[in-house]
Amino acid sequence: MRSSLLRAAHAPTELGMKIAFVTPRYGEEVMGGAEGAARSLAEHLVADLGHEVEIYTTCAIDHLTWADVLSPGVSQLHGVTVRRFTSAAGRDPKFSDLDARIRVAPSSRSIEDSVAWVAANGPVSESLVEALGDCDADVVAFYPYLFYMSVHGITRVRQPAVLHPAAHDEPSLYLPIFQRVFDSADAICFHTEAERSLVEPVLHTAATDQIVLGLGTGQASGSGRDGAAILGIAGRPYLVSVGRVDEQKGSTMLYEYFVEYKKRHPGPLALALVGPVSRPLPEHPDVVAAGIVNEADKWDIVAGAEVAISPSAMESFSLVVLEAWVARRAVMVNAVCGPTMEHIKASGGGLSFEGYLSFEVTLERLLGDAALREHMGEQGARYVASRYDWPVLIRRYEAFLESVVARGRRSEVKR
Amino acid sequence: MGVDGFDLDQVRREIAAEVLARRTSGSVDAVEERRLQRLFEQYSPHAGGVGALSDALRSVDATIFIDPDVPVASSQPAGAAIKKTVRKANYWYMRWVTTQVTKALSNIAGVLHQVGSELDRINRRLDLVSNDTPAVIQLADADAWWHNRASEAVARAKGRVLVAACGDGSFVATLTALGHDAYGTDPRAEVVPTHGDSLDLRREGVIEHLDAVADAMLAGVVLTGVTEAMLPAQRTWLLRALDRVLAADGIVVLHLLKPEFLSGEARPVALELAGVEPLRPSTWVSVLHDRGFGVNLVDGGPDALIIASRGPRAN
C-alpha cells in the first residue's frame, strides 16, 4: 500500500498499511467506551491483518480527572505501539459550571467559548498534538470527536484523517468548533445508522466519504462458572448491567428503578452492576456493584443473568448489548437511545423502556416468560453473527482505510 | 407472527396497554412516578440545536417541579440535625415560594406545549403537500446508453461526485473504476446493497441527502430517475440545493424520461401515485440555463440526458 520510503524505514509488514489512532486514553485499564473500541480495532488490524498500528494517547486512565498515572514514552501492548504523552492539564475544576452554561443553546456559542470548553474538558496535551505533525502513518484515525487531541490534531496531520465520532445527542455536538473538526476529516466511520443520522444534519457531513461499521464482538469466553456465585449471591436470579457505573450512563436511574421494582415485587431477584464505578451507589441488599472483573468472570456473569439491561441514553454503539446477545441473553434498553434501539429493532433481541412503569411491566413480562427470553437471546445472537463478526468487520474497515489512503489528504479545513 | 411463535410487535403492544392501564389506575403514586420519570429524563438526549421539540418539552416537564424539601444530608457531625431544624423553620416560606415558581413554570410549559401542538399540526399539513422523499422512477438498466456520455461529462469534475438514485451502485462503480471520487444515494432500501464493501452507497433520498451536504462540497451531481416524481416545490428546492452544494465549476448530469413516454399503461405506478407531471427535457434546459448553467441536451429516444456546467467550462 505504502509507496514512500517511509515504508522501507518501518517495514514491519510487507504490504500492510501503517495506521495511527489518536485517543485520549488507552490500555487494558480502560474498559469499554470509544477508547476501548479504538483498542479493539487497533489490535485486530495487527493480529488479523498484519498491519502496523501505533497509538497517540496520554498517560491518563481516569476520564474524570485525566491525571497522568502511566509513564510517558513508547511501549508495546498486544503488538500495538503505544506512544504516551503527558498532559499540561486534566479536567478543569470549573468544567461543570462551563458545561452547564453551554448546555443552553450550544450552537450559538462562539468558537472561543467552544475552544475553552474543549480545554476545560481535558486532557490538554500539546506535546501529543505536536507529535502528530511528525507522524509517518499512512492514515490517522481520531477516536472520538470530543477531545483536545481530536479538535487540534485533526488539522495538524498531513495524512488522510479518519474521524470516528462516537457521537451521542449531547449539547457539545452542537458547539461550533466541531464543525471545523468534521470539516477537516477526509472520512468518517460511524458506529450505527442512528449515529450517522444524528451527525449528518447537524454537521453537514453527507458528502464526506463514510462507512457505518460498528464494532466486532468476541466469542463468549467464560469459564463455565456460576455467575451468581461469582457475584456472591449464589442461588439467586439476577439482572446484569455491564458498563461504567455513572449517573450519565443511567446507572442511578437503573438503581432507583430496581429498588422501586423490588419494593413492589419482593423476592430473591438481584441486580448486578459490572464495571468501573465512577459514582458509588447506596448499598442495598439486592444490588451488587461488582466493579471491574476479568473477562472470564464478565462472560460468566452475563451468561447467568436473566436479562441484561442497558440503561444509558447516551450510547454511540453499545458493545455490551451485543455481548449479551453473544451470551444469548434477552436485553432491555433505554427507549431514547438511538443506537441500542437500532440494535433491538433490527434483531428482535430485546425490549425497551421509557420510564418506570414501562420498566416494570417490561421486566415482569421478560422474567415471566422464559421462552420469550430464550427467543430474544437467539435472535440477538443471529444478528451479531451476521453483522459484527470480527473477520468480516475488520476486512470492511481495512478496505475503507485503503480507499481513504488512495484518495489522500484533501485539505486541512474544507471550508 | 414471528418465528418460534413470537410476535414481538404484539408483545410491545401488550406492554404498552398494561403501562397505560397501571398509570390510569394509579398503580404508582403520581408524585413518585414523576420523580422516577425525572431520573429517566435527566440524561436523555434533548438536542441542543435541531432536536425534536417534543424531546425538549419532556426535559422542561421533568424540571418544572421545584421541591421545597431541601436536602439535609451532611458530612459534618450534627450537620443534618441543624439543616433539618433550619428547613423546618423555613418550610412555610420555601413552600410558598416554590409553589409560585412551579405554577409560573407550569403555565409557561403549557404555552410551549400549545406551540408544539400547533407546529405538529402545521407540519402534518405540510407533509400533505411535500413528501420528503419523492419516488424514484426506474429508468434504464445498468449498461444504458447514457452511462458513457455521463461518464465523459463527469470526467471534467474535480472532486466528489454524487449519483442519485444509485440503485445497486453500478454507475458509482463505473465512475470509481474510472478514477472518480464517486458515491451514491437511493431511498429504495431494497435495491441498495447492505454493508457494501468498497462503494460508498447510502440509503436515503436526494432531498434528505443534499440537505446535509456542506456548501460547495460537490464537483458533480448525477440525477437519474429522481426528478420525475417531484412536486413543484421539491423541484424548486432541488435547484436551490444544487446552487448551494456545487463547487464553482460544478457539473449536473440529469437523466430523465420524456413525459410523452410516460402516458397510458407505460406510466409508472409511483408517478401515478405522486400525481405529478414530469417536466419536458426542454423545460429543464430552460430552467437550468436561467440559473446560469451552460446546458447540452442529448436525446436518447424515450429518455434524455442533460449536461449542465457552471463556471468557465460552461458551454
Q: pLDDT higher for B190 or A135?
A: A135
Q: Looking at the structure, tell me whether residues A244 and A161 fall in a common domain.
A: no
Q: Above 50 in pLDDT, residue A168? A: yes
Q: Does A257 touch chain B (CB under 8 A)?
A: yes
Q: Above 80 in pLDDT, residue B244? A: yes
Arithmetic mean of pLDDT, A52-58: 98
Residues 6+ apart with CB under 8 A from B25: none
From CA A167, how far away is CA A362, in angstroms rounded?
28
Q: Looking at the structure, tell me whether residues A239 and A178 fall in a common domain.
A: no
Q: Looking at the structure, tell me whether residues A62 and A158 fall in a common domain.
A: yes
Q: Looking at the structure, tell me whether residues A332 and A402 fall in a common domain.
A: no
Please write the tens of the pLDDT for every residue from B137-184. Answer: 876 554 578 888 999 999 988 899 999 989 889 899 999 999 999 999
Q: Above 60 in pLDDT, residue A12? A: no
In 3D, which of A144, A148, A183, A181 has the Cα closest to residue A166? A144
What percent of chain B has a predicted confidence (pLDDT) above 90? 34
Give the nearest chain A residue to B44 (CA atoms). Answer: A313
Q: Above 90 in pLDDT, residue B65? A: no
Question: Is A412 a domain residue?
Answer: no
Give the nearest chain B residue to A363 (CA atoms). Answer: B15
Q: Above 50 in pLDDT, residue A9? A: no
Residues 6+ apart with CB under 8 A from A228: A234, A235, A236, A237, A238, A270, A304
Arithmetic mean of pLDDT, B123-136: 71
Arithmetic mean of pLDDT, A224-243: 96
Q: Looking at the structure, tell me whether residues A191 and A313 fall in a common domain.
A: no
For residue A68, give the DSSP letter: B
Structure confidence at residue A237 as a pLDDT band (50, 70, 90): very high
What is residue B47's predicted lDDT score, i.e. its pLDDT?
43
CATH number at residue A76: 3.40.50.2000
Range of the domain at A113: 5-216+390-407
Tally the domains of chain A.
2
What is residue B131's predicted lDDT score, i.e. its pLDDT?
62
Question: Is A14 a domain residue?
Answer: yes
What is residue B264's predicted lDDT score, i.e. its pLDDT?
77
- For residues A192 and A316, the answer to whether their CB atoms sit within 8 Å is yes
Arithmetic mean of pLDDT, A146-154: 97
Average pLDDT, chain B: 84
State the pairing for strand pair A238-242/A209-212: unpaired
Assign B145 to helix, strand or coil: coil
Partner-chain residue, chosen from B6, B45, B50, that has the shortest CB–CB distance to A168:
B45
Query: Cell numbers at residue B59, please?
Result: 426535559
- For residues A228 and A261, the answer to whether their CB atoms sit within 8 Å is no
Q: Above 70 in pLDDT, residue A10? A: no
What is residue A144's predicted lDDT score, i.e. its pLDDT?
95
Residues A45-71 as b/e (b if ≥16 CB within 10 A, e otherwise) read bbeebebbbbbbbbbbbebeebebebe
**CATH numbers and ranges of domains, chain B:** 3-128 (no CATH), 146-313 (3.40.50.150)
In 3D, which of A25, A35, A17 has the Cα closest to residue A316? A35
Residues B52-89 as b/e (b if ≥16 CB within 10 A, e otherwise) read ebeeebbbebbebbbebeeeeeeeeeeeeeebeeeeee
Q: Looking at the structure, tell me whether residues A262 and A378 fall in a common domain.
A: yes
In 3D, which of B229, B226, B259 has the Cα closest to residue B241? B226
What is chain A's alpha carbon radius of gyration, rounded to the nearest angstrom?
Answer: 21
Chain B (148-207) residues lying within 8 Å, Cβ to Cβ, of chain A: 160, 162, 181, 183, 195, 197-198, 200, 202
What is residue B52's predicted lDDT score, i.e. its pLDDT?
58
From CA B201, how far away is CA B162, in angstroms rounded?
10
Structure confidence at residue A206 as a pLDDT band (50, 70, 90): very high
Q: Looking at the structure, tell me whether residues A22 and A144 fall in a common domain.
A: yes
Arithmetic mean of pLDDT, A59-69: 93
- Between vectors from CA B259 to CA B253 and to CA B260, what angle results, nearest 5°? 130
A354–B212 C-beta distance less than 8 A: no
Q: Above 80 in pLDDT, residue A278? A: yes
CA B55 to chain centre: 17
When scoring A199, A258, A361 by the number of chain B Cβ atoms within 10 A, the one with the most, hence best to mutate, is: A361
Question: Is A221 a domain residue?
Answer: no
Other Cβ atoms within 10 Å of B158 Cβ, number: 14
A170–B42 C-beta distance less than 8 A: no
Residue with cell 401542538: B117
Element (H, E) at A212: strand A209-212
Q: pLDDT higher for B54 or B73?
A: B73
From CA A147, how far away is CA A152, in angstroms rounded?
9
Question: Is A149 a domain residue?
Answer: yes
What is residue A282's predicted lDDT score, i.e. its pLDDT?
94
